[in-house]
Structure 1
Amino acid sequence: MSVTLRAAPTAVAPGLVLRCWRVEDVDALVEAHRDPELRARTRNPLATPAQARRWVAGNRQGWAAGRRFSFAVCEPLPDGERLVACVLLKDVVPGRADAEIGYWTAGPARGRGVAPRAVDAVSRWAFTRFAATGLSRLELLHQVDNPASCRVAEKSGFPFVEVLPARPPFPRDGHRHVRHRG
């Protein structure tokens, strides 16, 4: 579990480091989940350090099982790094052509191109890492009332494909965006 990815800087934002989650991320996770927008879009917001520790442990188990790969997205600082987002590759099954990618961005990092760069980096990694097992298609899903996610999807190379009808646990219709390997 020592995968580290990088996303290049832009004119308005520093480069990004994408890595596995660590116990040291617990306080930053709780802080990110205090954001009302993130809480509204996340099925299981993390309100306490105990919840965040369980979440980190669960993500490490996903890596160990080889089916769910969650990356902490960080901006490097002179004295460490700042958590700015999360990107998740899930439902990776050998022999299955498709998997799903999801993400969230911490409030202070929104609007600086963090999510598109991080989603693109994980997508490229996934297509390379799982090409031999047949992965050739990634889906990015979001609710229709989230135009920012439409922009992230398009900027990350996931064109819009279709509207999906609402179904539990999602109360609103959704959008499906798809990116193909190569």
Structure 2
Amino acid sequence: MTLVLHVPAQGDGGPLLLRAWAAGDVAELVEAYRDPVMRRWTRFHVEDEAGARRWLEKQWRGWRDGGRLSFAVTEPDAGGGVRRLVANVAVKGLVAGASSAEVGYWTARAARGRGVAGRAVEALTGWVFGRFAAGGLECLRLLHLVDNVASCRVAQKCGYVLEEVVPARPPFPREGHVHVRRAPR
């Protein structure tokens, strides 16, 4: 996968780059999943390098199959040189002719509170609608647990409207919010 999305610097946030996951991301992926806050909100956890490689294989398989398009989100370090992993954004459930799909994301600890998630979700949303709306994609859904206030703010800032509260059901231990954003007309 050679697709790269560039997100310009905004406010206090530097430029973001959304790119394919690479084998060289293993160490940063393991480090990101050591964060207990992230582990609280995500269903699948990476415990070690072997788990990170399995996680990466899942992302690459999603691109090959076309049903899960996942991007590593990076930004330059403080010196402006080396890029570091700050987030993941993905669109899931892309099926030919389907009217909806789901957007998901997580943000590494060091990137929280700086607008990274919102900027990455907005870039992904624009790209997905630009690429798939003509084929029938009408809306994107963003789901989160009801007590994940930060994800609720990200959804709202990105124009995803709260559409319903869904009851707890496996594998989700608590109620959730479903936010929806419609394709531009």
In the superposition, the TM-score normalised over structure 1's length comes to 0.97
Root mean square deviation, CA, Å: 0.9
- Distance of 2:4 and 2:115 partners within structure 1: 19
**What SS does the corresponding residue of 1:53 show, helix, strand or coil?**
helix
**1:10-40 CA deviation, whole Å, 9 max, x = no partner?**
2211010000100000000000000010111
What is the match of residue 121 of structure 2? 119
Q: How many angstroms does 1:150 deviate by?
A: 0.5
Letter matched to residue 180 of structure 2: V
Equivalent runs, 1:1-182 vs 2, <5 Å: 1-77=1-77, 78-182=80-184
- Distance of 1:65 and 1:88 partners within structure 2: 14
Q: How many angstroms does 1:80 deviate by?
A: 2.1
Q: How many angstroms does 1:76 deviate by?
A: 2.3
Deviates more, 1:144-153 or 1:2-11: 2-11
- Distance of 2:138 and 2:3 partners within structure 1: 21
**What SS does the corresponding residue of 1:55 show, helix, strand or coil?**
helix
Identity of aligned residues (%): 53
Q: How many angstroms does 1:132 deviate by?
A: 2.9
- Distance of 1:44 and 1:75 partners within structure 2: 24
* Structure 2 gap segments, 5+ residues each: none
In the superposition, the TM-score normalised over structure 2's length comes to 0.96
